[in-house]
Chains A and B, each alone.
Chain A
Amino acid sequence: MKGSMSIEMVGVGGQGILLASKILGRAALNKDINVIMSEVHGMAQRGGVVVTSVRLGDAYSPLISDGSADILFGFEPVETYRGIRRLKKGGTVLMNLNPMVPIYVSLGKQKYPSIDEMVAEIKAHFPKTITLNATELAEEAGAAIAANVVMIGALSAVEGLPFTKEEMLEAVKQSVPPKVVDLNIKAFELGYSTVMNR
């Protein structure tokens, strides 16, 4: 590939973002494209904000600066909205509409904003916004936990990604445990076709 591409992945601990980012890394390695990724580990294993930066091609910094991401890859609506400052003007948003409600909302201390309102505003600023119900699609494929692979399938249909659908699917097969390959292929295909047929 020429130049570089920056994909900012945002969501919540426990959503399988680390695996999704490893699949991207695997796809890059298979194609001999340079890849640098920055992860967040530590403190809570679950429930906290997770941000993973993926840089492909000619890149040095493992972090993505505000206004420089080509794709904002959002696994959760509020976290997608929070991460929007990273996206460059005219960038692509790919977002899962299924929320993870923080416990503070149930405690009555805070409010979970209207998803429709957030999406409308994001779409008004970024015409290249794609939404899907990844968690629901994953349930259709057989397990809610495969929502991350639904998202990877959806990403494979996004214009400008330096990988073909087949290359991405191959990376999925190499990255998930053998006994759940079929379920994940199904999840991948559901994500891919949802974006292609929209």
Chain B
Amino acid sequence: MELLENQPGKKIFLLGNEAVVRGLIEAGVGFVATYPGTPSSEVGGTLEKAAKPAGIYFEYAPNEKVAMEEVAASSASGVRSFTAMKHVGLNVASDAFMTVGYTGVRAGLVVMTADDPSAHSSQNEQDNRYYARLAGVPMLEPATPQEGKEMIKYAFELSEKIGAMVMFRTTTRMNHVRGVITLGDIPAERKTKGHFDKAPSRFVTIPSNARREHPELLKRLEKAEEIAETSPFNYILKGDGRVGIITSGVAYNYVMEMRNVLGIEPDVLKLGLTFPLPRKTLSDFIRAHDTLMIAEELEPILEKEVMVLAKDVKPSVRMVGKLSGDLPLTYEYNSEVVGSVMAKLYDVAIPYENEDLKGIELPVRPPTLCPGCPHRATYHALAKAMKALKIKPEDVVFSSDIGCYTLGIQEPFEMADFLLCMGSSVGAAGGFAQSSDQIPISFIGDSTFFHSGIPGLVNNLYNKHRFVYVILDNSITAMTGHQPNPGMGITGMHEVGQKIDIEAVVKGLGVEFVKVVDPYDIQPTMKLFKEALQYDGPAVIIARHPCALLEYRDKKRKGPVPVYTVNEEKCTNCHICVDTFACPAFVALPHVMSIDPAVCLGCGSCVPVCPFNAFEVLKEGEQ
């Protein structure tokens, strides 16, 4: 792996999240725990291969809260520690996160939150910069992969200098941007084992200790603000002085792009250490300008702080940002959004011009369950069972969860009615069981089950809520890029761990109706669903079949994989297959159904769907 090379000065091409991993290697980090979540997932994905040769201990935790608790303990034991999570993952970890703000840290502790403006792969676009303020911990925000790598090292130094946990806040356009990275030194020594020196008055947060620690937290922030005034990540790019732009994170890239494109030269104050803010630097910058533009994505956090300062140092300054209505409060920025405001301030025009096509109507192409996906077979079997029992969609509530199976929301299944967050499928089922006259049917994946699917099940058992709990076990954390999880018994560093048996967990809690089935066997799966739908109590069905992409990859390693085709003599063009199963490999021709051999994964799960047995293996040599 190129990112492991100890060749300072060498330039390599890395994804933002890979650059973060390189930063961890250069920073001498000894312990990393994470739970995957887009856009943070490649941090773990890269460490799966890189941790062992780099000498870092790495593991996947079942959820972000456990990871957070682990890194807090590891840091308190004297080992530099790191955890990464997506923005909503910090909601899960927040209980521990908030109190680590109070205890402070010993060895450096850095927490990465990967925010997702525009919610490309998320249920919301919350701005986690508020968490730094809520917990009272310093925060760094990179604009590019290279800066991210440098900031990781700086974050650990800062963390140890003031004894505080440091938040490293990225967004999708840093995590999933590839850029040229200049490698730095890798330390010769890496501490992975320390000793926990007991200090209960600090680490046991009983009320009397917590009350004493809160002022300590504030003192750490004072020190951090002093550092922010001279931090190399907070700097001014001098221009013509007509307009001053204050910016942070990836918004800086759009400001700089449009500074070049428009040929204008506003002064730019680029902030990287953004909490606590360097109030002296900011005040001087405000004083020096009559017009200020604030370029930050999502919430007007910088803008409000600048406004508070301006009230004292220069009340007459004109502020251009979100609160003035010039920039939006939603979605990620781009060069046009930021540039249109800059162009207006300098009275110039954006030189981009495109051609208007007359507008041929295009088909939409939302993400779909992959060809061969076992979840498709599960949904198909459930639809058949409901039809056989004359249960209409209005008679049930499909309580979905976070994972590939959320795509069951789409036609022809439309089996997602309610979704809040990880684990909500089963928690919400209790509410629906009590307060609606419908049968709740919860869908959850294996990884999400371990993450937060167990407490809801405990609740529904304890309080005797009737529901059908479908655990779609494809034995991998699929959607985020195939990370191992406790159900596989393979660890983050690809070693053998203890395999946690979902069936045993569920039975151990006391569920009486627990059945395991391979959803590719559509008839038995349908029969089980019929039983579950008629069962008066919590009914658990574990639909177990490996992720089709991995199964295909494994098969391909062993030899050519035959694909399927439609026997045109048998096909009656009835469309039952596409209407009830809808594999993306199906292509409806005017007179007959067909299978696109470039899309088919040769799984054969469509075979039992056709009442006329028209799906057949394409003879070898024809594919």
Report the minimal beta-carbon distance from A109 to chain B, rounded to whole angstroms: 7
Known contacts A103-B584, A107-B582; A45 and B370 CB within 8 A of each other: yes
B350: which A residues are within 8 A, CB to CB? Answer: 65
Contact B370 A38 (CB under 8 A): no
Contact B362 A78 (CB under 8 A): yes
A85: which B residues are within 8 A, CB to CB? Answer: 354
The residue from A13, A25, A43, A81 contacting B121, defined by CB atoms under 8 A apart: A43
Contact B352 A48 (CB under 8 A): no
Q: How far is the CA of A52 from the CA of B190 in the complex (A)?
A: 37
Known contacts A36-B178, A81-B362; A43 and B479 CB within 8 A of each other: yes
Known contacts A39-B178, A40-B120, A46-B370; A62 and B253 CB within 8 A of each other: yes
Q: How far is the CA of A48 from the CA of B597 in the complex (A)?
A: 18
User: What residue of chain B has the Cβ atom nearest to residue A118's Cβ?
Assistant: B360
B173: which A residues are within 8 A, CB to CB? Answer: 38, 62-63
B278 within 8 A of A: no
Q: How far is the CA of A43 from the CA of B479 in the complex (A)?
A: 6
Contact B368 A48 (CB under 8 A): yes
A145: which B residues are within 8 A, CB to CB? Answer: 598
Contact B260 A34 (CB under 8 A): no
Binary A-proximity of B245-270 (CB < 8 A = 1, otherwise 0): 00000101110110010000000000
B587 within 8 A of A: yes
Report the minimal beta-carbon distance from B335 to chain A, rounded to whole angstroms: 5
Contact A78 B363 (CB under 8 A): yes
A180 within 8 A of B: no
B608 within 8 A of A: no
Interface segment, A121-129, A157-165, A189-197? A121-129
Q: How far is the CA of A85 from the CA of B178 in the complex (A)?
A: 24
Contact B257 A59 (CB under 8 A): yes
Contact A43 B363 (CB under 8 A): no
B370: which A residues are within 8 A, CB to CB? Answer: 44-47
Contact A117 B578 (CB under 8 A): no
Please provide the chain A residues from 33 to 76 with a CB less than 8 Å away from any CB of chain B in the complex. Answer: 34-49, 58-63, 65-68
Contact A40 B353 (CB under 8 A): no
Q: How far is the CA of A38 from the CA of B172 in the complex (A)?
A: 9
Report the minimal beta-carbon distance from A7 to chain B, rounded to whole angstroms: 13
Contact B361 A88 (CB under 8 A): no
Q: How far is the CA of A145 from the CA of B253 in the complex (A)?
A: 35
Q: How far is the CA of A17 from the CA of B360 in the complex (A)?
A: 25
B352: which A residues are within 8 A, CB to CB? Answer: 65-68, 88
Report the minimal beta-carbon distance from A88 to chain B, rounded to whole angstroms: 7
Known contacts A46-B370, A67-B354, A68-B352; A103 and B586 CB within 8 A of each other: yes
Binary B-proximity of A12-26 (CB < 8 A = 1, otherwise 0): 111000000110011
Report the minimal beta-carbon distance from A155 to chain B, rounded to whole angstroms: 18
Q: How far is the CA of A42 from the CA of B257 in the complex (A)?
A: 27
**Max count, chain A CB within 10 A of own CB: residue among B179, B365, B584:** B365
Binary A-proximity of B325-359 (CB < 8 A = 1, otherwise 0): 00000000011100100000000001011110110
B121: which A residues are within 8 A, CB to CB? Answer: 41-43
Contact A37 B354 (CB under 8 A): no
A106: which B residues are within 8 A, CB to CB? Answer: 578, 582, 586-588
Binary B-proximity of A83-121 (CB < 8 A = 1, otherwise 0): 011111100000000001111111111111100011001
Binary B-proximity of A117-158 (CB < 8 A = 1, otherwise 0): 110011001100000000100000000110000000000000
Q: How far is the CA of A42 from the CA of B482 in the complex (A)?
A: 11
Please provide the chain B residues from 385 to 439 with a CB less than 8 Å away from any CB of chain A in the complex. Answer: 404, 407, 411-412
Contact B177 A47 (CB under 8 A): no
Q: How far is the CA of A65 from the CA of B338 in the complex (A)?
A: 11
B159 within 8 A of A: no
The residue from A28, A37, A78 contacting B177, defined by CB atoms under 8 A apart: A37
A181: which B residues are within 8 A, CB to CB? Answer: none
Contact B411 A66 (CB under 8 A): no
Report the minimal beta-carbon distance from B238 to chain A, rounded to whole angstroms: 17
Contact B368 A61 (CB under 8 A): no
The residue from B256, B360, B365 contacting A12, defined by CB atoms under 8 A apart: B365
Known contacts A107-B578, A126-B355; A46 and B334 CB within 8 A of each other: no
The residue from A62, A100, A125 contacting B357, defined by CB atoms under 8 A apart: A125
B11 within 8 A of A: yes
A107: which B residues are within 8 A, CB to CB? Answer: 411-412, 578-579, 582
Q: How far is the CA of A122 from the CA of B178 in the complex (A)?
A: 30
Report the minimal beta-carbon distance from B40 to chain A, rounded to whole angstroms: 10
Known contacts A38-B176, A46-B371, A88-B354; A144 and B598 CB within 8 A of each other: yes
Contact A67 B360 (CB under 8 A): no
Contact B367 A43 (CB under 8 A): yes
B364 within 8 A of A: yes
Known contacts A49-B365, A102-B364; A39 and B176 CB within 8 A of each other: yes
Binary A-proximity of B173-211 (CB < 8 A = 1, otherwise 0): 100111110000000000000000000000000000000
Q: How far is the CA of A177 from the CA of B361 in the complex (A)?
A: 39
Please provide the chain B residues from 132 to 180 with a CB less than 8 Å away from any CB of chain A in the complex. Answer: 144, 173, 176-180
The residue from B179, B364, B575, B578 contacting A37, defined by CB atoms under 8 A apart: B179
User: What residue of chain A has the Cβ atom nearest to residue B585's Cβ?
Assistant: A103
Contact B364 A110 (CB under 8 A): yes
Contact A62 B177 (CB under 8 A): yes
Report the minimal beta-carbon distance from A133 to chain B, rounded to whole angstroms: 13
Binary A-proximity of B532-567 (CB < 8 A = 1, otherwise 0): 000000000000000001000000000000000000
Contact A125 B180 (CB under 8 A): no
B596 within 8 A of A: yes
A29 within 8 A of B: yes
B483: which A residues are within 8 A, CB to CB? Answer: none
Could you list 26 examples of A-B contacts with CB < 8 Å? A12-B365, A14-B599, A22-B13, A29-B12, A39-B15, A41-B41, A44-B368, A45-B479, A47-B584, A48-B366, A58-B260, A60-B256, A63-B335, A65-B335, A65-B336, A78-B362, A84-B357, A88-B354, A89-B353, A100-B599, A104-B411, A105-B588, A106-B587, A108-B588, A113-B360, A126-B355
Question: Which residues of A are at the interface with B, using a C-beta cutoff of 8 A?
Answer: 12-14, 21-22, 25-26, 28-29, 32, 34-49, 58-63, 65-68, 78-79, 81-82, 84-89, 100-113, 117-118, 121-122, 125-126, 135, 144-145
| Interface contacts beyond A38-B177, A81-B360: sample of 18 additional A-B pairs, CB < 8 Å, sorted by A | A12-B365, A21-B178, A41-B41, A41-B176, A43-B479, A46-B368, A47-B368, A60-B257, A63-B173, A65-B350, A67-B352, A102-B584, A103-B368, A103-B584, A105-B588, A108-B575, A110-B364, A145-B598
